[in-house]
Amino acid sequence: MGGRPKGLIEVGGARIIERVLQAVRPVVDDLLIVTNTPALYAFLGLPMAPDVYPDHGSLGGIYSGLKASAGDAAFTVACDMPFLHAEIARLVVRRAAEADVVIPRVGDQLETLHAVYGKACLPHIEERLLAGRLKITGFFERVRVLEIPETAVGAYRAPTVAFMNVNAPEDLSRAERIAEELSRP
């Protein structure tokens, strides 16, 4: 997106980060933003944590948020997903006590940036970060993983919409079209 912070891009008249918060706020008790540029997100009035391991991708962000979290687990979402749905988040969060990772599966894809990670994951994630192995699912074989089926997600919103990321201008154009469709009565 040309270096613009994706969470601050507007879709359907609201910044993506605001849309994310609107979906997540009714589901979780505490919110935390992992960012190395806190001034950009100060307007949200939320606690922030820096990356413990800067430049270690999404796995580093998951680790940082989970480590900074006061609870036993953290529901992690990306800031560039404009169509998250509170009920889909609730599907994942309410099963947090059942495994170390609770994660939706859509086809062959695990939605790693819409999942609950328990504190038991921290040493396994850190081991991978220190080794420079940043694939999120790389530590899953060492923890208990519970998958939420695509059919459960689809009961609330099409998974291709719910888990859509805005990574390129064509994604933004598609997101604008979807936002318009979703706003119609």
Domains present along the chain, CATH in parentheses: 6-183 (3.90.550.10)
User: pLDDT tens-digit profile of 63-77?
Assistant: 999 999 999 999 999
User: pLDDT tens-digit profile of 121-148?
Assistant: 999 999 999 999 999 999 999 999 999 9
The stretch 94-107 carries a mean pLDDT of 97
Specify the pTM: 0.94
Write down how long the chain is. 185
CA distance 113 to 158: 17
User: Which pLDDT score, from 0 to 100, does residue 185 have?
Assistant: 82
Helix boundaries (H) for the chain: 16-24, 38-41, 57-68, 86-93, 122-131, 150-154, 159-162, 169-183
- In order of 18, 96, 169, 178, 180, the CA distances from 173 in angstroms are 18, 35, 6, 9, 11
Neighbouring-strand partners of residue 104: 148
Q: What single DSSP character describes residue 70?
A: S
User: pLDDT tens-digit profile of 16-74?
Assistant: 999 999 999 999 999 999 999 999 999 999 999 999 999 999 999 999 999 999 999 99
User: Which pLDDT score, from 0 to 100, does residue 1 have?
Assistant: 59
CB 162 within 8 A of CB 153: yes
